[in-house]
Chains A and B, each alone.
Chain A
Amino acid sequence: LIQSDLICQLSQAVDRPSFNPTGKLGGQLTDRIRCEVGSHDQAIAIHAAEWVSRFYPDVSARAHIDYVELESDRRSPTQLDQLWRTVLTNERLIVEGAASRASLLTDLMA
């Protein structure tokens, strides 16, 4: 259905004495991941990054040309990775389905 050459790599957990995916204390520990973005995904990834913090206020995202950085003091790197893949997939489905959705709505409103 969908092709992607996006590679997301966990890079590092910063400022954390130990990894504790289930018991994070808000405001104390910040996790950051860096997700590499393939050339075909750059436009979608930039849009997706813009929406991350809007829908998930505990996460901030910064899009660069070929990678995206996400950080949160409430989510582990694994959780951030899953979140990014979800947001990216969502954005892709929105973009790919835009024409179809518009056509369906036009049919309905007619």
Chain B
Amino acid sequence: MGLIQRVIEESGIPTISITLSQEIAEKVKPPRAVLPGFPLGHPMGMPFDADGQRTLMKKLLEYVGVIREPGTLVNLSTEAGTDTINTEVTE
């Protein structure tokens, strides 16, 4: 996923991805990624949780404009309301 994202970003379109693995994101370094903390196969969360999916999608879109540092990983898997920017990825 990160490789496809990098190609699209390089072509001149801003991108953001869900990542299900901090380990993979740190290796591949997509331009902008969000770790929601969901299990494999559930990038947008649980089935039929339209509100949860919509909230996550709005956050993703907002982060496209908010993130200023290439390679930033936003960790949403910590407690609600304590979104943290993982600066390790950009170092």
A binds B: no
Chain A interface (Cβ < 8 Å from any Cβ of B): none
Chain B interface (Cβ < 8 Å from any Cβ of A): none
